[in-house]
Homo-oligomer: A and B are copies of this chain.
Amino acid sequence: MQSTDRPQFEIDEADIPAGCKACGARQFGICSALKASELTHFSTVTRRRKIVHGETISFEDDEVVDYANIVSGAVKLTKLLSDGRQQIVGLQFAPEFIGKPFSEKVSISVEAATDVEICVFPKTELENMLKQQPDFEHRLLEQTLIQLDDARTWMVTLGRKTAQEKVASFLLLLADHIGKPAPDNPTDSEFMLPLKRADIADFLGLTLETVSRQMTKLRKMGAIDIRKNLEVTVHDTDRLIAISGGD
């Protein structure tokens, strides 16, 4: 975006650990609360991990041993009913934080929806950092409040919207997080679906057949286009918002 190579934060930039330089969490995630020196310390206890699409990062009721920031990709948070019914309770993208601090057990499975890169740090390290750095805890509280808001917004979708509205809401959510302007028509938004139909169904509280039917309907209405089952173009965002029932 800038024509010069001048760094944006001239004072700090040189001291930023190499691994953190390109990491979104440093600018927008919880690490933004850390000073260069703290970040340097922190970076000695973190490690990068690549996770392929479909792999589970942590299981429901596993013991909590680690936390992580998402560096790239998307993860899905799922909850299970005892008879196997499943609900995806959240999608998270870079540079969001994964993990539930201060609890012994997690009640959620975290699975890589796309190929994912995460920056992992041990439970004790994070908890120390939280104790020593009120700013850090503050940043985490802010992120948690956003997640709470997202969860409650999605509850309206789950409880009160029709299948058509749910699918439209889902596509808008993705356009918002990972959509890019289409090269040929910049008012269109393009993205790759990070979830297959069955997962979309688990996110929307529908069956995969219903999701498929509604996608087809939206396509025939001209609101969207889908190629190769997962390349989506949103032609008319306002129209899709109207279809989604708003919020």
A contact set with B: CB distance below 8 Å: 77, 79, 81-83, 85-87, 89-90, 100-103, 107-108, 130, 134, 137-138, 140-142, 144-145, 147-149, 151-156, 158-161, 202, 204-205, 245-247
Least CB distance from A203 to B in Å reads: 8
**Given known A-B contacts A134-B137, A246-B81, A89 and B145 have beta carbons under 8 A apart:** no
**Given known A-B contacts A81-B160, A205-B158, A152 and B108 have beta carbons under 8 A apart:** yes
B156-A83 in contact (CB<8A): no
**Given known A-B contacts A87-B160, A160-B87, A101 and B152 have beta carbons under 8 A apart:** no
A156-B102 in contact (CB<8A): no
**Given known A-B contacts A137-B134, A137-B137, A245-B83, A148 and B144 have beta carbons under 8 A apart:** yes
Least CB distance from A208 to B in Å reads: 14
**A142 proximity list for chain B (CB < 8 A):** 102
Q: Can you spell out 8 A-B residue pairs with CB atoms less than 8 angstroms apart?
A: A79-B155, A81-B161, A82-B245, A83-B246, A103-B145, A137-B137, A144-B144, A158-B159
Question: A134 to B156, alpha carbons, bound, how many Å?
Answer: 33
B247-A156 in contact (CB<8A): no
Question: A152 to B76, alpha carbons, bound, how many Å?
Answer: 13
B159-A204 in contact (CB<8A): yes
**A153 proximity list for chain B (CB < 8 A):** 79, 107
Which partner residue on chain B sits nearest A149 by CB separation? B107
Least CB distance from A55 to B in Å reads: 21
